[in-house]
DNA sequence: TCTGGGGTCCTAGGACCC
DNA sequence: TCTGGGGTCCTAGGACCC
């Protein structure tokens, strides 16, 4: 039986979240910035139209911002995460088969809904999501995930589609792909696009008709899968159960450059703590920890980046053990006399707490006093909305903490930040 | 002055083993 | 003097995604 995928993608998701709670900016150009108020990571159509690029550093857009009264927001990921959950909850009512692909995208299997009319059904989904969450979405429907992505882009770029485009018929697929630049295809990034164009393939249709042998020889098996998907042969299936995580990372650029080991240590250890909280929330243990530091790559000053890692044995989710390891690693890579711009902590070799192996000489984490201590700390911090009990090594001042000058309120997750309506 | 963060997967190359 | 080949495992780095 032929498969049918719908890709639902929230339009300018972060901007749309801000607009739900701040309708005054509905018709205006709006952008949301990355952490540290660095780059533009979400743009309204109005902002796109006046030429603000995706990922553009905001300081380079200052003139445009001023000239067009662009509304600027700092990222508010607590709010976006909560809005995302609401959208996904609505979507789950429309299919038994939902794959949450990212914070603002989901694949729905529409197999078995043909009798309702795929186009009509997609329009209904779009209408209900908008009504129940305030978030506008675009929907692409096609026989493979990769084609559903293409259909989704088409819906976004063509207002006459009203946000829904179905791409099921072969003749139509061929026409649309011949109008699609090869670099717009899901899985074809900058490098591959340049390579393909150099070899005479400028459109998705040309890639689709390339010989398998040639693709296998010059590119990877992953790209071959993409080519098959463009031909309508489904190679990527629905992944409804979230696969276990392979890595948990906390990385940040600083609000200002750090040039003292003590401060660097505080930052690294604070990120270890954050990572460890994420680790425990997902009931995992880490078997490896990696720390990296980096100076500002955009400056003329000497560039330095280095990382070091070590195996954690036995695997653990106990913050003090991870902190100890991270401290040693940092000492190995820290060079005096440099001005550091960012650092990060990455936990890997993750395994579920329930699969913890037995040790001859060590106590298991599961059920130990350390385990209970972490649970008490986490649950207290959760109830009090974050960070009241922390490991002393993290430091209290956090002067390097990121800049966030324009953050909106966390309307949906904090009682003290509820939306106020004045009449 | 001011340039994000968190992931996955693949490949190449080195260490090591027999 | 002559100096293989196959396999595994690990790490670093790159490409890609949102």
Closest residue by Cα to the C1' atom of nucleotide B11? A220
Distance A141 CA to B18 C1' (A): 55
For the cut 90, the answer to whether the pLDDT of residue A355 exceeds it is: no
For the cut 80, the answer to whether the pLDDT of residue A387 exceeds it is: no
pLDDT at A230: 98
pLDDT at A307: 93
For the cut 70, the answer to whether the pLDDT of residue A386 exceeds it is: no
Query: Which parts of A158-281 fold into alpha helices (H)?
Result: 170-178, 190-198, 204-208, 212-218, 221-230, 261-281
**pLDDT over 70, % of chain A:** 97
pLDDT at A408: 87
Give residues 86-145 of chain A lying near strand C (Cβ < 7 A): 101-105
- Cα distances (Å, whole numbers) of residue A315 to A178, A268, A332, A345: 52, 20, 22, 16
Distance A85 CA to B16 C1' (A): 48
pLDDT at A382: 86
Distance A101 CA to B15 C1' (A): 38
Closest residue by Cα to the C1' atom of nucleotide B1? A59
Which residue in A136, A208, A145, A223 sits closest to A178, CA to CA?
A208
Show which positions of strand C are touched by protein (CB under 7 A): 11-18
Q: Per residue in A214-259, pLDDT tens?
A: 998 899 889 999 999 999 999 999 988 888 899 999 999 998 899 9
pLDDT at A397: 67
Distance A62 CA to B11 C1' (A): 42
Q: Burial of A27 by CB count in 10 Å (0-12 exposed, 13-18 middle, 19+ buried)?
A: exposed
pLDDT at A83: 97
pLDDT at A153: 98
For the cut 90, the answer to whether the pLDDT of residue A69 exceeds it is: yes
Statement: the CB of A296 is under 7 Å from strand B: yes
Show which positions of strand B are touched by protein (CB under 7 A): 1-11
- Is the backbone peptide bond immediately before A314 cis, with ω within 30 degrees of 0? yes
When comparing pLDDT for A422 and A83, which is higher? A83
Residue corresponding to tokens 């743009």: A43
Would you say A118 and A110 are in contact if contact means Cβ atoms under 8 Å apart?
Answer: yes
- Rounded to the nearest integer, the mean pLDDT of chain A is 93
State both tokens at A9. Answer: 């993608």
Q: Per residue in A12-56, pLDDT tens?
A: 999 999 999 999 999 999 999 999 899 999 999 999 999 999 999
When comparing pLDDT for A416 and A190, which is higher? A190
Q: Per residue in A99-120, pLDDT tens?
A: 999 999 999 999 999 999 999 9
Total residues belonging to chain A:
423
When comparing pLDDT for A402 and A330, which is higher? A330
For the cut 70, the answer to whether the pLDDT of residue A325 exceeds it is: yes
pLDDT at A423: 76
* Other Cβ atoms closer than 10 A to A416: 7
Q: Report, as an integer, the average pLDDT of A328-355.
A: 93
Q: Give the pLDDT band of residue A396 (cuts 50, 70, 90).
A: low
Residue corresponding to tokens 């990034």: A189
Which residue in A177, A190, A111 sits closest to A146, CA to CA?
A177
Distance A41 CA to B1 C1' (A): 21
């Amino acid at each position: 039986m032929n498969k049918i995928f719908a890709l639902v993608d929230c339009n300018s998701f972060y901007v749309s979240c801000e607009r739900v709670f701040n309708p005054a900016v509905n018709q205006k150009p709006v952008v949301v910035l990355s952490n540290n108020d660095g780059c533009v990571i979400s743009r309204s159509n109005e902002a796109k139209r006046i030429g603000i690029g995706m990922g553009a550093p905001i300081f380079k857009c200052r003139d445009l911002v001023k000239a067009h009264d662009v509304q600027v927001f700092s990222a508010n990921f607590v709010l976006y995460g909560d809005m995302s959950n609401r959208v996904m909850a609505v979507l789950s009512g429309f299919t038994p088969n939902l794959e949450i692909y990212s914070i603002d995208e989901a694949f729905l299997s529409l197999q078995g809904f043909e009798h309702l009319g795929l186009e009509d059904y997609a329009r209904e989904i779009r209408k209900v999501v908008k009504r129940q969450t305030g978030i506008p979405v675009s929907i692409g429907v096609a026989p493979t995930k990769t084609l559903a992505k293409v259909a989704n882009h088409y819906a976004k770029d063509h207002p006459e589609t009203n946000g829904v485009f179905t791409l099921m018929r072969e003749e139509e697929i061929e026409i649309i792909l011949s109008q699609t630049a090869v670099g717009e295809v899901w899985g074809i990034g900058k490098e591959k696009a340049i390579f393909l164009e150099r070899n005479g393939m400028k459109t998705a249709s040309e890639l689709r008709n390339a010989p398998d042998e040639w693709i296998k020889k010059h590119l990877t098996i992953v790209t071959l899968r993409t080519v098959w998907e463009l031909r309508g042969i489904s190679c990527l299936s629905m992944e409804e159960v979230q696969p276990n995580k392979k890595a948990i990372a906390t990385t940040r650029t600083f609000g200002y450059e750090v040039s003292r080991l003590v401060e660097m240590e505080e930052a690294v250890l604070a990120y270890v703590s954050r990572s460890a909280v994420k680790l425990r929330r997902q009931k995992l243990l880490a078997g490896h920890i990696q720390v990296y530091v980096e100076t500002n790559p955009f400056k003329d000053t000497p560039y330095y980046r280095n990382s070091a890692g070590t195996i954690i044995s036995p695997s653990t989710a106990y913050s003090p053990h991870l902190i100890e390891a991270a401290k040693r690693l940092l000492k190995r890579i820290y060079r005096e006399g440099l001005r550091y711009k960012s650092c990060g902590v990455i936990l890997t070799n993750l395994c579920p707490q329930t699969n913890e192996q037995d040790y001859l000489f060590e106590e298991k984490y599961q059920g130990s006093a350390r385990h209970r201590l972490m649970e008490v700390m986490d649950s207290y911090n959760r109830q009090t909305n974050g960070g009241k009990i922390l490991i002393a090594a993290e430091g209290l001042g956090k002067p390097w903490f990121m800049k966030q000058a324009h953050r909106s309120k966390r309307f949906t997750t904090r009682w003290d930040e509820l939306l106020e309506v004045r009449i």
